[in-house]
Amino acid sequence: MQNTLIACALLILAACGGGDGGGGGGGGLQAPTDLTYAENPATYTQGFAVSNAATVTGTVTVWDVAPALPGGLALDPADGTIAGTPLAPLAPTDFTVTASNAVGEAQAVVNIEVVIPAPRALYVANAADDTVTTLQIGSLVHAGYALSDGAGAAALAAAPDGATVYLANAASDDITLFAVDALSGRLTPSGSPVATGAGPSSIAVDPTGTFLYTGDLGDDTVSAFTIGAGGAPSAAALATTVAGSFLYVANAADATISQFSIDGATGALTPLAPATVATGLDPRDLAAHPDGTFLYCANHGDDTLEVYAIDPATGALTALPGGALAVGDGPSALAVDPRGTALYASTELDNEVSLLTLETDGSLTLVESLRARGAPGDLLLGPAEQAFVVQSEHAYVLAYNPANAVSQFALTAGALVALAPPSVATVSPTPRALALHPDQELVLVTADTGTSLSLFQRDGPTGLLTAAGSEAVTNSWDVAFEPSGRFAYVTLRLTGVQPFAVDVAAPDLSPLTLVAAGVDPRNLAVDPTGRFVYAAETTAGLFEYTIDPSTGELTPAGSAAGAGATAGVSVHPSGRYAYATNFSGNSISMYSIDPDSGALSARVPPAIATGSSSNPAGMAWSPDGNSLYVALSGTQQVAHFRVDKATGLLTFQSNHPTAAQSPQSLAVDATGTVLACTNSGSTGIVSLYTLNPATGAPTVSGFASAAAGGTTGVVFSRDVH
């Protein structure tokens, strides 16, 4: 008995750590404590690798988690890191991670959500000029276009990794390949075209990215290609439910949709009962909701979109009550966001693309529309990416005599903070305007009494500019890049508009053919689709030009009368409307843009007054296109207008004082929260305003000091991460 008591006492002492104060057992082992994770709650994106590190105090010999982590994720047995690539969406779910050893354990509850990746861009095949437009999405924003090396742009597809986009060219019987910029989504032609059968009208890539298929109208065949390294490789209105249980075919000839069940083992099709359902006139495209609940139909003949509920058991379609939704002129193609939140529709007869939200009851709500290029057809969402951020990290301001320099700033919390060095000298004196290339790597600066354009290369991370040469031109006033970045346009006072081909890598400009623009051209604007150029001329108004997408050359296309010393011109972000500031007329002229020719037509009323002796000059838009800001150089103010996107008409909101005399140029940062205004009558002053995100109303927030001299031009960078 005594021996038993002694043994028990020894066990108790061991369990309590004996008398040495070391704690724990097993030679001083302690139970793990304070288990935490770097991300908690954690939101991951399906298909993208993650690594969520654990932090714990003490020694861990076993890691465990309950319930099991989502498919594709695993708990590292060495350090408890949650890592891998999630394979499927998951609603927010709690997972209990346990870190243990022989004497105890610590736990942490980690909440994990896996979301479907958001597309970064929407691609639009434009049959009229064989181009592909890139729109960054969220809100639709033009991000340039790419020129096909074929003819008859018909259908789009993408490689599963999103690195390559394929365009089927129905008239040239081949496929164009485009490389996709992973950040911006912009396209660049890649490699040589690949020959197909006659008239390829549809295109598809298998899920592994190994094979590509085209349907060829010219010979009623399907061509198959093996896709090699680097991505090189007729009923187009088809839609299947995500589960692959049902197939739907639009029949344009008799305005119906055929509906079938799909045999999961053999792929055989069995007509449902009834075999067809009625649609509007000339149905051109179909798209199914990602969860298989609704089918959307584009009716080209009566300009409507129609929605059908899908019976989950039988696949039968039932038209939703309330009728079809009117949208654009000639709906031709549809694309559904894989997250099930948005539908995109192209309307080829008015050259537009529309964004609609998908409501939970299946109904559609039109959010906005904007211009594409000629005869937009097929739509493609891609690449699938994690959420991205567009912001302005830097700003650049021109300082006139005596500095003759570009001041460079970081944009930090709404303020402009000078970089080091704070400025770089221009080649010619009296710099007037500057433009930042769409890829954000090249800056061009004009000089209104000088003999050269200045070229600068921009380092994206630091924002610093480096002098990179010049181009001989005389009395240059304004400059703008077209959205593909291949061409730039410069107004030369007393001469005309000078086009240039742009080599960003060199960098270098190659002069194209000068075109006349009245007696004294000043500012110019390129429409966001990259099809038209408008030049403001002080005696005659606006001169109109079309851009050759292959060469960049300009063709005069008419003019529109101004209303007193037209000084500035700007195009609405939608591409539907143009506006001109009339310096001596103290007004803003308002125009509609013809979707095919680019010709300007005066709105009714044709102009809105800006106030006596206000002398309106430069203009800038909020990114959402709801607000227009105008520099009133005569009254030292910035005017704020709201625009009706359905009519293009402006409504005056308010005037706001500037920090110095003679406000000239304006710029809004990419987030729509900061407005900058140059002041040519000042000594290096830039007026700054904070913009209300809901109303666009400016609030004076101060000023920044640029290099000595009147400030004449300002631009914000547009940085994508």
Q: Are 590 and 584 in contact (CB under 8 A)?
A: no
50 vs 43: CA distance, rounded Å: 10
For residue 326, pLDDT beyond 60: yes
Lowest mean pLDDT among 56-70, 227-241, 250-264, 686-700: 227-241
* Final residue of a structural domain among 232, 253, 274: 232
The rounded distance, in Å, linking the Cα atoms of 617 and 113 is 50
Nearest to 650, CA basis, from 639, 641, 660: 641
Domain boundary residue, one of 217, 232, 247: 232
Output the pLDDT for position 18.
Answer: 40
The rounded distance, in Å, linking the Cα atoms of 252 and 303 is 14
227 and 328 share a domain?
Answer: no
| Same domain as 332, residue 200 | no
Tell the residue number behind the tokens 């903070």, with chain if given.
417
Are 197 and 260 part of one and the same domain?
A: no
Q: Which helix (H) or strand (E) holds 341?
A: none
pLDDT of residue 17: 41
Tokens of 625: 């296109």
pLDDT score at 318:
96
DSSP state of 294: E
How many structural domains is the chain composed of? 4
Same domain, 103 and 166: no
| Structure tokens, 650 | 């402006």
Tokens of 348: 């080829």
| Residue 421, CA distances (Å) to 215, 395, 407, 464, 467 in order | 58, 14, 9, 8, 13
Its sign, for the CA torsion 493, 497, 503, 504, is positive
Residues 154, 280, single domain; the answer is no
Same domain, 595 and 620: yes
In a domain, 254, yes or no: yes
Give the neighbor-by-neighbor strand order of the sheet with 42-45: 42-45, 104-115, 90-101, 62-66
- CATH code of the domain covering residue 473: 2.130.10.10
Mean pLDDT of 24-34: 77
Q: Do 643 and 591 share a domain, yes or no?
A: yes
**Taking Cα atoms as reference points, which of 131, 110, 100, 138 lies closest to residue 36?**
110
- Residue 671 in any domain: the answer is yes
CATH code: domain of residue 108: 2.60.40.10
CA 134 to CA 129: how far, in whole Å?
A: 15
Q: Is residue 323 part of a domain?
A: yes
Give yes or no: residues 298 and 159 share one domain.
Answer: no
What string of DSSP letters covers 556-613?
EEEEEE-SSSEEEEEE-TTSSEEEEEETTTTEEEEEEE-TTT--EEEEEEEEEE--TT
% of the chain at pLDDT higher than 90: 78
Whole-angstrom Cα Rg for the chain: 31
Distance CA 377, CA 128 (A): 10
Contact 154, 132 (CB under 8 A): no
Q: How many residues does the chain have?
A: 721
* Residue 375 in domain: no
Q: 361 and 242 in one domain?
A: yes
422-444 mean pLDDT: 97
**What whole-number distance in Å separates Cα of residue 425 and Cα of residue 458?**
14
694-720 pLDDT, tens digit each: 999 999 999 999 999 999 999 999 998
* DSSP summary character for residue 682: S
pLDDT of residue 16: 41
Both 356 and 299 in one domain: the answer is yes
CA distance 23 to 276: 78
Cα→Cα distances 542→155, 538, 591, Å? 37, 9, 11
Average pLDDT for residues 501-519, to the nearest whole number?
96
Q: Per-residue confidence at 117, pLDDT binned at 50, 70, 90? A: confident
Beta bridge pairs of residue 122: 135, 381
Classified as helix, coil or strand, 176 is strand
CB neighbour burial string for 384-395, b if at least 16 within 10 angstroms, e if fewer? bbeebebebbbb
| Containing structural domain, residue 350 | 235-370
> Rounded to 5 degrees, what are φ and ψ at 22?
-75, -25
> Rounded to whole angstroms, how far apart are CA atoms 479 and 120?
29
C-alpha angle with apex 525: 524 to 529, nearest 5 degrees?
A: 155
Phi, psi for 532 (deg, rounded to 5): -135, 150
Indicate whether 177 belongs to any domain.
yes
Number of Cβ atoms within 10 Å of the Cβ of 78 = 8
Identify the band that residue 48 occupies on the pLDDT scale cut at 50, 70 and 90: confident
Cα dist from 541 to 288, 448, 475, 517, 573, whole Å: 49, 20, 20, 10, 21
User: Cα–chain-centroid distance for residue 99?
Assistant: 44
343: exposed, middle or buried (C-beta count within 10 Å: 0-12, 13-18, 19+)? buried
614 touches 635 (CB < 8 A): yes
Sheet containing 431-436, strands listed edge to edge, beginning at the edge strand earlier in sequence: 431-436, 442-447, 452-458, 465-472
Q: State the pairing for strand pair 200-205/283-288.
A: unpaired
Report pLDDT digits (tens) over 175-199. Answer: 999 999 888 888 999 988 999 888 8
Q: So what's the pLDDT on residue 220?
A: 58
DSSP state of 227: -
Residues 599 and 706 in one domain: yes
**Per the domain annotation, does 378 fall within a domain?**
no
The Cα 286–Cα 334 span in angstroms is 7
Q: Is residue 338 part of a domain?
A: yes
Looking at residue 8, its pLDDT comes to 42
Cα distance between residue 384 and residue 116, in whole Å:
9
What pLDDT does 172 receive?
94
User: Tell me: the pLDDT tens digits for 252-308?
Assistant: 889 999 999 988 888 888 999 999 999 999 999 999 999 899 999 999 999 999 999
670 band by pLDDT with thresholds 50, 70 and 90 = very high
- Higher confidence at residue 445 or residue 228? 445
Do 346 and 407 lie in one domain? The reply is: no
Whether 662 is covered by a domain: the verdict is: yes
Backbone angles phi, psi at 345, to 5 degrees: -135, 135
**CB neighbours of 2 closer than 8 A, spacing ≥ 6?**
none
pLDDT at 449: 93
* Angle made by CA atoms 108, 109, 112, in degrees to the nearest 5: 130
DSSP-derived secondary structure letter, 216: E
Mean pLDDT computed over every residue of the chain: 91
Of 100, 115, 130, the residue that ends a domain is 115
Rounded Cα gap, residues 148 and 256, in angstroms: 34
pLDDT at residue 2 in the model: 43
Average pLDDT (312-331) is 93
| Angle at alpha carbon of residue 35, lines to 30 and 39, rounded to 5° | 160
pLDDT(630) > 90: yes
Check pLDDT > 70 for residue 392: yes
Match 């700033």 to its residue by tokens.
Answer: 409
CB 465 within 8 A of CB 408: yes
| Residue with the two structure tokens 């991000």 | 143
Any idea which residue has 């999405």 for tokens? 137
Distance of CA 363 to the CA centre of its chain: 25
By CB neighbour count within 10 A (0-12 exposed, 13-18 middle, 19+ buried), where does 229 fall?
A: exposed
